[in-house]
Amino acid sequence: MTQLRPAVPAQDVAVGAIRARLGAAPGKGRGVFAALDVKAGEIVVTDACIDLTAADNAALAGTLVDDYVFAHPKSDARGLLVLGLASLANHADDPTVATEFAYDRDLGWFVTLRAIRDISAGDEITRRYACPPWFNVRT
C-alpha cells in the first residue's frame, strides 16, 4: 500500500478547521474571509498550483485567467495558476497575510497564505500582489 505524506508539515494543518471562506467584498467583488480567529503565524490556506511554462503563461496574457496567475518564485517568464481560495484573496498595501511558496518533487508547487498578525473571524484575508495592481486599490 502506498502511504501519502503531507505537502505541508502536519503541525501547520488546521485539523477539522476551515480557516477561510469565500464571500462578497464590498466594492471589490469576491474576497476571502477568515472563517474563525487566526493567530499571527498560523496558516490560513495552502493551495496546490499548476506550474505554467513560459509558453502557457504568454498564451494567458491579457485573458481573464491572467488576473489569477501568480508570479513564479523561480522564473519571471513562468507563472503559477493557484487552485483554491488563495487565488481569490484581494490585494492590500497593508495585507493580513504573507504569501509563501513551497515545492514538492512529487506534488509540485504550493502557495500558502500565513497570517502576519491576528485576524478575527469575518475579517477579509488580503495579500500584497507581486506585481503593481492594475486596478484602483480599495480599502
Rounded Cα distance between 76 and 123, Å, is: 32
Over residues 94-111, the pLDDT tens digits come to: 999 999 999 999 899 999
pLDDT of residue 16: 43
Rounded Cα distance between 109 and 107, Å, is: 7
What residue spans define the domains of the chain? Answer: 19-127
pLDDT of residue 14: 44
C-alpha cell at 94: 497593508
Backbone angles phi, psi at 132, to 5 degrees: -60, 135
- The candidate with the shortest Cα–Cα distance to 109, out of 75, 58, 64, 65, is 75
Rounded Cα distance between 82 and 13, Å, is: 18
What architecture (CATH level 2) is domain 19-127? Beta Complex (2.170)
For the chain, give me the number of helices (H) and strands (E)? 1, 9
Question: Which residues in the chain land under pLDDT 50?
Answer: 1-5, 9-16, 134-135
Neighbours of 37 (CB within 10 A): 14
Backbone angles phi, psi at 113, to 5 degrees: -105, 120
What is the pTM (predicted TM-score) of this model? 0.82
pLDDT of residue 133: 52
Alpha helices in the chain (DSSP H): 54-60
Rounded Cα distance between 84 and 74, Å, is: 21
